[in-house]
Each structure stands twice: as structure tokens, then as C-alpha cells.
Amino acid sequence: MTGTGGGADTGAEDALLLREAEKIVTALGRTFPGLCEVVLHDLRDPEHAVRAIENNLSGRAVGDPATELGLARIEDPGYPDVLQNYPNRFPDGRPAKSTSIGIRNSAGVYIAAICLNLDVSLFATVSRSLARLVATEDAGMPVEETLSSRTAGELRALVEEFAAARGTTPRGLDAAARQALVRSLKERGHLQVKHAVPILTDLLGVSRATVYNYLR
């Protein structure tokens, strides 16, 4: 199967595109050795479509035929240019995550496809182990423990973030918002910071008496 509408010029263009695509396949494969199979399909010759293959995880060889997806691309000019992260499976049953990128020439004809097949089975055991590692238990703690030390800088940042989330500045907060902020800071232990109340009065533009009133 050959491109249409360009004769010899299209043929030369197709050959150039395939040569350039082969460089991409080689580079991608060598970036993810042993993890991701990268295949270049020459869709002009579906019976011998596999032109290059890096990290051979599927057992295919150069000269093997196109897959069902490749044949669908050949038959349908409107087939999506990119199919990304779809589930797949290697011949031995290992699960894979695949992406297929169609390559068109200047006439809009699909002449090649680059396919990436990531062996996700390699990550399954690691994923389960990590899930167990990071799992915690509800130990019925009488108090909530925080391992970080409270700092004045952290207090200022929390006040500014609170105000920014409401589209204003700390001094632009209304009384109800200021009271909610101060009580929240107390509950989270941030008023234990040295000089916390003077810092709040400066940020919020209120008196110390007002801050203490919010805490009642």
C-alpha cells in the first residue's frame, strides 16, 4: 500500500518520515530499557509492517504483520492520530499500557505508527508493597501529633493563604472570617508560636484585645 496524490515525491517523503520515526523509536526504547517496548509500523506494507522494535517484550520481529489497530488505521483515514494509555496484553498474559501514534504524510495518508507498550506487571508488586508501607492504623491517639515545629513564618503563610483563598488580603477579611481564622490557628497549635498574637494583630490590623476576644 502506498501514499496517494504525490507519486514519486510522496514516496520520497514517506521514506524520509519513516527514517526519522525510526530515530524516535530507537531513542525512546533506549530511554526506558526493559520497561517499554517501542515499535515502528510501516503501514504501507501491512503484511510486513514491523520496521523497527526496541525492548522486544512481545516476541515480535522485524517484518511481522500489522496489529488490528494498525489495520484499522490503514482502512480509516479518520482514525484518531493518537490513542493513549489504553489497556493491552503481551502474548504471555502480562498486562500492558499502550499508546499508538499515527504518522501521516503531507497528503494526509497514514504511512506509519509508533507504538509504546509499557509492561505494567513490573510495577504491580512494587505498588502493593508501597501501599502496605505507607498504610497507617487508627491507634486511637488522645491528641493529634504534628512532627514539625511551629514557626512565625509558617503562621504568616497560613494567614496569607487563608485570605488569598477568599480573594482578599489579611487586613481585608471581615470580622467573621478573622474569628474563624484565629480559632482555626489555635486548634492547629499555631498560636503556640512565640509572639503569635502580636504577629496576628499586625497581619490582621486589629488590636490584641480583639484577637483574645476571638478566642473566647
pLDDT at 2: 41
pLDDT at 5: 44
pLDDT at 42: 97
pLDDT at 123: 83
Pull the grid cell for residue 102: 499515527
pLDDT at 4: 43
pLDDT at 70: 93
Element (H, E) at 176: helix 175-187
Let me know: does 51 contact 61? Beta carbons within 8 Å: no
Give the Å distances, CA to CA, from 122 to 33, 66, 151.
Answer: 13, 26, 43
Per-residue pLDDT of the chain (216 residues; tens, 9 = 90+): 444 445 567 789 999 999 999 999 999 999 999 899 999 999 999 999 999 999 999 999 999 999 999 999 999 989 999 999 999 999 999 999 999 999 999 999 999 999 999 999 878 778 888 888 888 876 666 655 555 557 888 889 999 999 999 899 999 999 999 999 999 898 888 888 888 899 999 999 999 999 988 888
- Cell numbers 478566642: residue: 215
3-state secondary structure at position 89: strand
Residue 90 pairs in a beta bridge with: none
pLDDT at 132: 86
Tell me the residue type at 14.
Answer: D
- Give the DSSP letter string of 28-49: HHHHSTTTEEEEEEETT-GGG-
